[in-house]
């Protein structure tokens, strides 16, 4: 007799995701599909030195059970890392999570009762949609343009739906690539205060800027607005800037929320790998991060430029997009110009036949998908591959 | 205005646990309270060699995003490890989890709808109780004696409550220390078949035996009973035999359950640290585990003997217990002989005053706690400290 699974599983639909992943296995394919950093940029020697330090000087800490809140030397390093970016957060005000994905899971577990509403960007991170739906959230989609979420539309939705919280990726969003402007950031914060709405700021890409640094995070800006700081839950990650394989992320939030998240984490995985945490702490302590980031920014900036130039030159008015100023992604739309397809799923299939993969945009929407949208990552292919891949896209159009 | 948290948080009561942890901070205290392995037994050199191998030969695998199901070379090593213990499980039939705590969390997320019943042992692992309650489970407690769960009583409870599943630690239970006899194992399996009941077999301690090896696991025995194998979900862990800090556990279950657990894991933490997984894979591949286990068994066996001798000699008929044949724990009861206290919580407080810590038994019960019970771990104190600690227990009595 088949098992009867939990009712919460009925809330998620993963076939779209599985289809995406199947696309990636074909040999010889040029992939713009992933959300991965380029492994060629991993500082393997730096990480080797860090783990050597950790095992030589704190083997007990690195190998034994640890505090659910996180390994204290790592919390100190992350506090300093955030401080260097204008966010004043003490080590005790952040907890370490098993990747920032777990921060989302803990927010869901801690905050969402079945039927609660949560507002997300349309489009937003795919795994956020499914994560919150597993806790029974009803997701509302707020419109996004090249400058991030539309604060007036967001306020209207907040007033109408009274959500448990609003989830935003303000800096180089996935998949939107959008950068929320300073003016809009201030409007979002004012809205949060006015409606007493918790804002989750997910920030895995904020360090990957190509020109000048982005505006301060919502968390940093909230310090200037009395009462606002407690309304921001901020999620950080080392996955895009050091190594996803460590699974080291973190979250800062008001004390009551953080305490409940720690309680939930205790029964989710007890604590994040202290082996990975001690390694990350030693890496940050050794001071290599600024150089690693500078290198990453330069490489990704070059690739983003190559992709933007190629798309304009080869696909012309058949696609529209905004050149990203950081992150890993182009977000584009098929315009239908010249009678060409506006169906991104169809375009993705034809592209596979031509030997290039990307992700159609529909699954990134919690509601009202734009079927002409699609996401291209420029992170893992070098400039030559990017140019070759865009030639293939042209053939697929 | 304070946040309104998810209703599921109302199902858990963590103050008892917090109180326990507070006990452990006092300086100079001899602790029998933890559930930790002795860090002096960590094979630091072996783990250093393993991580060196992982970073030298598979840096991409160790540092990049990985499959949610687990890092394939580790799944292969874990399959071989289980095979060496009589469990025929292919690499594809197991998934890697972030410690076995996450396997419990995934079982909860995948299986438990609010109001579902789950049968656990009384007493059982504290974090299991809270983990399942966070998913809304109503826990039923099945009686345990020195030979593990009582199969007749268990069958009666299963027939009455029709639980979503039964959770057992059959081999050197935490906190019971009990070893489920072969005869009872066979009765439990027959019961599972008769009632079509899923059994979760949690097995973090099975390798830590002091004399002969324990009877085969429920999973191993299920292979001989047609239709039974699909009714066993087995959770393993490297935490007690290699290092808790790696946070590497695993789960095997029928395909439909495993697929849903993978889907839930994708949105819980994406995957377990590949850095830790690749290190564990290299460690197992290097073949050091049998020697590590042999050393651990010898050390823990000596400590268990010292604790048993000491308790009998110093506390006499004031306590009763069964000498454990493996694992990390003594489970004992205050008898009240000679008019002494039968209140283990009171005894624990007096013990702290005398400079020795242990855990009173009540929080380990999902229902009907035995207030005279308590748990002593012999894992982290050496023989001299164990003898000194028991002198202090005597003074506290």
pLDDT per residue as tens digits for the range A194-241: 999 999 999 999 999 999 999 999 999 999 999 999 999 999 999 999
Pairing of strands A138-145, A148-149: antiparallel
- Is pLDDT of B275 > 80? yes
**Distances, alpha carbon B274 to alpha carbons A14, A237, A275, in Å:** 23, 16, 11
Are B127 and A266 spatial neighbours (Cβ–Cβ below 8 Å)? yes
Tell me if chain A has a CB within 8 Å of the CB of B244: yes
Q: How far apart are CA A380 and CA A361, in angstroms?
A: 19
Instruction: Identify which of A109, A116, A269 has the shortest CB distance to residue B269.
Output: A269
Q: How confident is the model at residue A13 (pLDDT cuts 50, 70, 90)?
A: confident
Structure confidence by residue, pLDDT tens digits, B306-346: 999 999 999 999 999 999 999 999 999 999 999 999 999 99
User: Tokens at residue B40, please?
Assistant: 């002096």
Q: Residue B144: which of B182, B184, B107 has the closest Cα?
A: B184
pLDDT at A363: 92
Chain A nearest C-alpha distance from B57 (Å): 11
Do residues A240 and A379 touch, judged by C-beta distance below 8 A? no
Question: Which H/E stretch holds residue A380?
Answer: none
Q: Measured in whole angstroms, how far is the alpha carbon of residue B297 from the centre of its chain?
A: 17
Nearest to B59 among A42, A246, A271 (CB): A42
Contact B170, B218 (CB under 8 A): yes
Average pLDDT of chain B is 95
- Which residue from A minimizes the CA distance to B38? A64
Q: What is the pLDDT of residue B34?
A: 87
SS3 (DSSP) at B116: coil
ipTM for the complex shown: 0.97
B292–chain A nearest CA distance, Å = 15
pLDDT digits (tens, 9 = 90+) for B282-297: 999 999 999 999 999 9
Asked if B51's CB is within 8 angstroms of A55's CB, the reply is yes
Using pLDDT thresholds of 50, 70 and 90, give the confidence band for residue B20: low
pLDDT in tens, B135-185: 999 999 999 999 999 999 999 999 999 999 999 999 999 999 999 999 999
List the helix and strand counts (H, then E) for chain B. Answer: 14, 14
Task: Dump the DSSP string for A83-98.
Answer: HTTT----GGGEEEEE
pLDDT tens, A336-370? 999 999 999 999 999 999 999 999 999 999 999 99
Query: Which residues in chain B are contacts of A2 at CB distance < 8 A?
Result: 256
Q: Is B390 exposed, middle or buried (0-12, 13-18, 19+ CB in 10 A)?
A: buried
The Cα–Cα gap between A37 and A80 comes to 24
Q: Per-residue DSSP letters for B77-97?
A: HHHHHHHTTT----GGGEEEE
Residue A253: pLDDT band (50, 70, 90) is very high
Nearest residue in B to A105, CA atom: B268
Q: How many CB atoms lie within 10 A of CB A135?
A: 24
Whole-number pLDDT of residue A261: 97
What predicted TM-score, i.e. pTM, was given to this entire model?
A: 0.97
Kindly list the residues from chain B whose CB atom is less than 8 angstroms away from the CB atom of residue A255. none
Interface of B with A in 293-312 (CB under 8 A): none
Contact residues, B window 347-386, toward A, CB-based 8 Å cutoff: none
Which residues of chain A make contact with B269, given a CB cutoff of 8 A? 97-99, 101-102, 105, 247, 269
CB-CB neighbors (< 8 A) of B99 in chain A: 269-270
Chain A within 8 Å of B131 (Cβ-Cβ)? yes
Q: Specify the pairing of strand B232-237 against strand B199-202.
A: parallel
- Name which of A275, A278, A283 to mutate to probe chain B: the one with the most chain B Cβ atoms within 10 A of its Cβ: A275
Q: What distance in Å separates residue A125's CA from the closest CA in chain B?
A: 11
Question: Which of B324, B291, B294 has the alpha carbon at shortest distance from B307?
Answer: B324
Residues 6+ apart with CB under 8 A from A23: A33, A348, A352, A357
- pLDDT tens for B211-247 read 999 999 999 999 999 999 999 999 999 999 999 999 9
Phi, psi of B202 (to 5 degrees): -95, 125
Residues of B in contact with A257 (CB under 8 A): 3, 5
Among the partner residues A44, A64, A244, nearest to B55 by beta-carbon distance: A44
User: B6 and A66: CB-CB below 8 Å?
Assistant: no
pLDDT digits (tens, 9 = 90+) for B47-94: 999 999 999 999 989 999 999 999 999 999 999 999 999 999 999 999
C-alpha distance from residue A221 to each of A85, A91, A169, B86, B199 (Å): 11, 19, 15, 59, 51
Torsion, Cα B248 B254 B257 B261, to 10 degrees, reads 20
Residues A120 and A139: beta-carbon distance below 8 Å: yes
Q: Using DSSP, state whether A50 is helix, strand or coil.
A: helix
What sign does the CA torsion over B199, B205, B211, B216 have? positive
What is the pLDDT at residue B2? 84
| Burial (CB count <10 Å: 0-12, 13-18, 19+), residue A194 | exposed
Residues 90-119 of B with CB under 8 A from A: 97-99, 101-102, 104-105, 109-113, 116
Q: Are B29 and B352 in contact (CB under 8 A)?
A: yes
Question: What residue in B sits closest to A129 (Cα-Cα)?
Answer: B267
User: Measured between alpha carbons, how far is A219 from A223 in angstroms, rounded to an integer?
Assistant: 7
Q: Where are the beta strands (DSSP E) in chain A?
A: 30-31, 94-98, 117-122, 138-145, 148-149, 165-168, 199-202, 232-237, 248-252, 319-321, 329-334, 356-357, 359-360, 373-377
Angle at B273 between CA B271 and CA B278, to 5 degrees: 115
């Amino acid at each position: 007799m088949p098992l009867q699974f939990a009712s919460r599983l009925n809330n998620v639909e993963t076939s779209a995701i599985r289809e995406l992943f199947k696309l990636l296995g074909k040999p010889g394919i040029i992939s713009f599909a992933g959300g991965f950093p380029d492994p060629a940029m991993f500082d393997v020697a730096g990480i080797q030195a860090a783990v050597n330090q950790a095992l030589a000087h704190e083997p007990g800490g690195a190998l034994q059970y640890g505090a659910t809140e996180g390994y204290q030397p790592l919390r100190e390093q992350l506090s300093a890392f955030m401080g260097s970016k204008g966010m004043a957060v003490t080590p005790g005000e952040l907890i370490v999570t098993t990747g920032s994905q777990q921060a989302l899971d803990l927010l869901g577990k801690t905050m969402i009762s079945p039927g609660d509403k949560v507002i997300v960007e349309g489009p937003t991170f795919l795994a956020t949609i499914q994560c919150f739906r597993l806790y029974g959230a009803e997701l509302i989609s707020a419109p996004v343009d090249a400058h991030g979420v539309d604060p007036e539309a967001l306020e209207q939705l907040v007033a109408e739906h009274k959500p448990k919280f609003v989830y935003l990726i303000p800096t180089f969003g996935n998949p939107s690539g959008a950068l929320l402007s300073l003016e809009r950031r201030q409007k979002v914060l004012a809205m949060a205060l006015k409606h007493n709405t918790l804002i989750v700021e997910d920030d895995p890409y904020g360090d990957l800027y190509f020109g000048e640094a982005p505006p301060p995070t919502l968390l940093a800006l909230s310090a200037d607005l009395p009462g606002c700081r407690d309304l921001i839950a901020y999620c950080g990650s080392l996955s895009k800037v050091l190594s996803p394989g460590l699974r080291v992320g973190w979250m800062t939030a008001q004390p009551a929320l953080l305490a409940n998240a720690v309680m939930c984490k205790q029964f989710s995985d007890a604590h994040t790998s202290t082996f990975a945490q001690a390694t990350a702490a030693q890496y940050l302590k050794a001071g290599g991060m600024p150089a690693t980031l500078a290198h990453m920014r330069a490489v990704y900036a070059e690739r983003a430029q190559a992709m933007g130039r190629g798309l304009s030159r080869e696909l012309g008015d058949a696609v529209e997009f905004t050149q990203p100023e950081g992150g890993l992604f182009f977000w584009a739309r098929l315009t239908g110009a010249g009678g060409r397809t506006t169906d991104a799923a169809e375009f993705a299939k034809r592209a596979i036949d031509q030997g290039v993969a990307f992700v159609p945009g529909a699954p990134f929407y919690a509601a009202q998908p734009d079927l002409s949208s699609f996401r291209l990552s420029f992170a893992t292919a070098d400039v030559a591959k990017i140019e070759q891949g865009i030639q293939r896209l042209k053939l697929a159009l």
